[in-house]
Amino acid sequence: MSDQRTIHIDGEWRAAASGATREILDPADATTLAVVAEGGTQDADAAIAAARTAFDQGAWPHTPVAERAALLRRVADLLQRDRETLGLLESRDAGKTLEEGRVDVDCVSDAFRYFADLVIGEGGGRVVDAGSPDIHSVVVHEPVGVCALITPWNYPLLQASWKIAPALAAGNTFVVKPSELTPLTTVALLGLLAEAGLPSGVANLVTGPGDTVGARLAEHPGVDLVSFTGGLVSGTNVMRAAADGVKKVALELGGKNPNVVFADACTTDEGFDTAVDQALNAAFIHSGQVCSAGSRLIVEESLRERFVAELARRADLIRLGRGTDPGVECGPLVSARQLARTEEYVASALAEGAVLRAGGRRPEGPGHFYRPTVLDHCHRGMRVVREEVFGPVLTVETFRTEDEAVELANDTEYGLAGGVWSADAARARRVAGRLRHGTVWINDFHPYLPQAEWGGFGKSGIGRELGPAGLAEYRETKHVYQNLAPRPVRWFAG
């Protein structure tokens, strides 16, 4: 990608109005992967104007549901056609393994198909019984309007699809701003939307930094909804910027997610192996750069030494490298900044009394790599336990009773996701019911379903993505009350 025209406005690819560009670096070796336009407020304003015109004067908001659904299905088909290309691009851009990139493309296709099926299966509104045959009363849903979609760097294509698919299904227009670190697959997705036949102006994209482009999208009076996925500090800034316009806001702000392991889950060799394997997956998939990463292992005290010893042994065997190389299990961190942040958290944990059981260092050679790290003897007073690291760092805490396990798992300002491991089905469901997290897995970690809502409690955000509620975020609700036999009310005597 070398022509630097990565801004898409009203159906045209453009360079930044200022002419500025940004190098996109390959995190595996810090070489230049692409050069993209570095947009600014002028580009954001132009994109919003195009989306505003397409919504207020264009056909898309009034396009029959069946046609909107058909377009979403065409996009899903195009994604599968380009699966290898997009998977490779996602791997190179974000640093994840090639197989993870391919899986992401499949999940994106599933999301487009799910929202197509969801809208096509709906009726014409909810009839409300007004208690009289002379009254026809119905509740209907309409698109919100112009949506600003701000997406993160860890799952660029997936997070974009979780916003774009329901926004289009509901009949909205939008401006998407991908992370300035990993914009390439979102740029490619906009090309597929155009190829699928989406009218000009409905989908717009501005590549550029959050403190200019993102801030302008959040505050602009022409925007009706802001959907943001990213860090807590940036999310609160988005919410403040949107407040003056009383915009609809949806925020997914990450988590500090517990993975609770009861000893009875590990009484057999198979059970022990599975729980250890899943604890590795929970913490180290995509080098821990996952909002739902199970970065807090909370293990029953009687199991601790055996479990952590095996966990650490396997963590030391994880093969790091460029995500496209055969046999690689874990790629680099996305940037030098993220690597330095991870190192700082590990150093602070060790200074506060944590015991290093695995990793804790960057390997020799180029790239932003860090060994999967296991920190034992951790407690809630440590920063590494309280704050989101977004790196391959797993902390270990212990409990003796079920109540203590629940207390530890809920002792966080976040509430996105968590896992419970137990051979006692009743206990597992009981603990899951007590956890204040938006998704709870029992004897599993990480899977999600496009038909099930995704989002969190507390500082993990507000609103939901996916599922029926994910579509509802992009709609306004209207009550239409029709009097079929109007007559004078005679409230006033004259």
Tokens for 48?
């919003």
Quote the CA–CA distance of 88 and 63 in Å, as a whole number. Answer: 35
Residue 27 φ/ψ, nearest 5 degrees: -65, -15
Quote the CA–CA distance of 417 and 441 in Å, as a whole number. Answer: 8
- By CB atoms closer than 10 A (0-12, 13-18, 19+), residue 271 is middle
Catalytic residue among 266, 291, 330, 378: 291
CB 460 within 8 A of CB 415: yes
Catalytic residue among 38, 90, 252, 388: 252
Q: What is the largest CA-CA distance in the chain?
A: 92
Output the CA angle 164-14-143, nearest 5 degrees. Answer: 25
CB 252 within 8 A of CB 465: yes
90 among known catalytic residues: no
Tokens for 440?
């709870």
Tokens for 155?
């799952």
Tokens for 116?
């197509």
Burial state string for 413-449 with b = 16 or more CB within 10 A and e = fewer than 16? ebbbbbbbbbeeeeebeebbebbbbbbbbebebbebe
291 among known catalytic residues: yes
Residues 6 or more apart whose CB falls under 8 angstroms from that of 492 comprise none
Quote the CA–CA distance of 197 and 75 in Å, as a whole number. Answer: 9
Active site members: 252, 291
